[in-house]
Structure 1
Amino acid sequence: MRKKKVRAIAIKSFALLVVLGTAYQATAQAVTTPSPATPYSKMAPVDQYLMTDRDAEIALARSAAPASISRDAGVLVLGQHGFETAVKGTNGFVCIVGRSWTSTVDAEFWNPKVRVPMCVNAAAARSYLLRFTKETEWGLAGRTPAQMNEAISAAIARKELPPMEPGAMCYMMGKEGYGGDSVPHWPSHLMFFYTDADLASWGANLPGSPVVGLNDPLEHLTQFVVVVQRWSDGTEYREGSGAAHHH
């Protein structure tokens, strides 16, 4: 089982962004194993995690990157048992809308409202995205956070899931979406994925550095985050300027 300390520092994919300046403190306070006192102590019906409007899910997924990238990208949408190909791309990018199992803190592991769009490049599609979609399958199957942690660690150890490919990254510049009750809207940002990289090599987390970084030793995953000044539609990013989430 993943230790709470590690989980508080490395909340899977995105929770390191909790508002950047206060990310680590806010996240550590928010990360707890779901309990009967939380509104998301168990899995909701599967249908609540799905989007009824397939076209809306495609549009939301593509909103993660500028149209010059996303219009030719492949798109995955969530079905009853996992992600399915809705659009075959031509430029190597893949756009997808993450759900609670991969895109929020543990206290909201079962939150059916979470919708976090991202577009990964080809290198990430061949490495990072494989973990992302596998964890979603496990979430839909009802696995708990502890069971998922054990499964992902075992899959990496058995080399069933590959290390990060050089150059793996993703765009998360969507104005819409919903990151959860704790952090409803992420800043507009880019993410870069490595296997066991040195945070100091990027100058991450240093005073004045625009780079936020963290290591997840269990997954051998290093993530660097850089906030950008505009949303994917070209409008200026301002804190709190994200739109309402989709169902």
Structure 2
Amino acid sequence: MKNRPRTYVPGDVPAIRVGRAAALAASLLLGLASGSLHAKGSPGMAPIDAYLLDRTKEISLARSAAPDAISKDATILVLTRKGYETAVKGTNGFVCYVGRGFGGAPDWPERWDPKILAAACDNPPAVPTMTALLKLRTALTLAGKSDAEVMDRIKAALRTKEIPPLAAGAMCYMMSKDAYLSAQGEHNMAHVMFYVPTKDGTTWGANLPGSPVMGGNYWYLLPGHEADVAALPAISVFLVATSTYSDGTAVAPHAM
């Protein structure tokens, strides 16, 4: 990742250090497996039960990712011992779910923290690629596949277009008041996230002083993985903080 994310509230007033938390939010949902991925049973992973939620609670948290006008008609996924399954079949093409830490970038230190509950809602253009990648990686991780097996399976899915190339207009709502995205800072940040098939954020002005846009590479949180990234489709993630949560209540300035 060429530029470390940073964020500013309107008026160019530096926010409390949530740039890292926002980057972690992006990587949580989007990071794919690599040679450094921990397999199930590694010392860092808690028992699977630690990551599971009451089904009704998980459905509610997933819906809270986006405004009700969107999430009320969305498909809802819940995590099981084998991966995500559909709990509610929607009608508008959106898919909402609660991301866990092990769905994130393999170099993220918080990856195995059971507290991570990232409510998210992918829009229809994002679902075939981004939601599919999350589901595949999660299932492989919970099945105890090795690092090499996980990455080989993902690359095969991309190569054969079982998981298609990223479509234009792909984005995600992450506006839940009750999400826990990181142990850092305020633990949460209401935002919307855009998935773009580009290598960096130059054309978006991401991470520049005064810009409300934060950006980073989809595949890894930290620099040092250039060779790995070069072998994968170019995908960047851009985040913009919102002034309200999905229920319409205002976000406190210190939490943005």
Q: Are the structure 2 counterparts of residues 22 and 72 from structure 1 closer, same or farther at C-alpha, using a change threshold of 3 Å?
A: closer
Moved more, 207-216 or 147-156: 147-156
Out of 115, 122, 132, the residue aligned to residue 130 of structure 1 is 132
Residue 58 of structure 1, CA deviation: 0.3
Q: Secondary structure at the match of 2:102?
A: helix
The two structures have a TM-score, normalised by structure 1, of 0.75
Task: Indicate if the aligned counterparts of 1:34 and 1:41 stay in contact, CA closer than 8 A.
Answer: no
- Higher relative contact order, chain-length normalized (CA < 8 Å, sep 6+): 2
- Paired position in structure 1 for 2:234: 220
Moved more, 109-118 or 126-135: 109-118
Task: Indicate if the aligned counterparts of 1:96 and 1:119 stay in contact, CA closer than 8 A.
Answer: yes
Written as runs of structure 1 = structure 2, the 5 A alignment for 1:42-121 is: 42-51=44-53, 53-103=54-104, 106-121=108-123
Moved more, 200-209 or 104-113: 104-113
Q: Deviations over 1:81-119 (max 9, x none)?
A: 011111111111111000111247622222222211001
Unaligned runs of 5+ in 1: 1-5, 11-17, 25-32, 243-247
Written as runs of structure 1 = structure 2, the 5 A alignment for 1:1-247 is: 19-20=18-19, 41-51=43-53, 53-103=54-104, 106-143=108-145, 148-149=150-151, 151-182=153-184, 185-196=187-198, 199-216=201-218, 217=229, 218-238=232-252
Query: Which amino acid is 2:111 matched to?
Result: F
Aligned length: 218
Task: Indicate if the aligned counterparts of 1:63 and 1:70 stay in contact, CA closer than 8 A.
Answer: yes
Cα separation, 2, equivalents of 1:58 and 1:140: 20
Cα separation, 2, equivalents of 1:34 and 1:8: 23
Q: Secondary structure at the match of 1:128?
A: helix
Give the root-mean-square deviation of aligned CA atoms: 3.2
- Paired position in structure 2 for 1:13: none
Query: Which amino acid is 1:128 matched to?
Result: M
Q: Are the structure 2 counterparts of residues 34 and 94 from structure 1 closer, same or farther at C-alpha, using a change threshold of 3 Å?
A: closer
Cα separation, 1, equivalents of 2:98 and 2:164: 22
Q: Secondary structure at the match of 2:126?
A: helix
Determine what percentage of the aligned residue pairs are the same residue: 43
Q: Are the structure 2 counterparts of residues 201 and 141 from structure 1 closer, same or farther at C-alpha, using a change threshold of 3 Å?
A: same
Cα separation, 2, equivalents of 1:66 and 1:90: 16
Q: Secondary structure at the match of 1:193?
A: strand
Task: Indicate if the aligned counterparts of 2:37 and 2:147 stay in contact, CA closer than 8 A.
Answer: no
Q: Deviations over 1:27-72 (max 9, x none)?
A: xxxxxx799xxxx933222222111x21110000000011111111
Cα separation, 1, equivalents of 2:19 and 2:44: 29
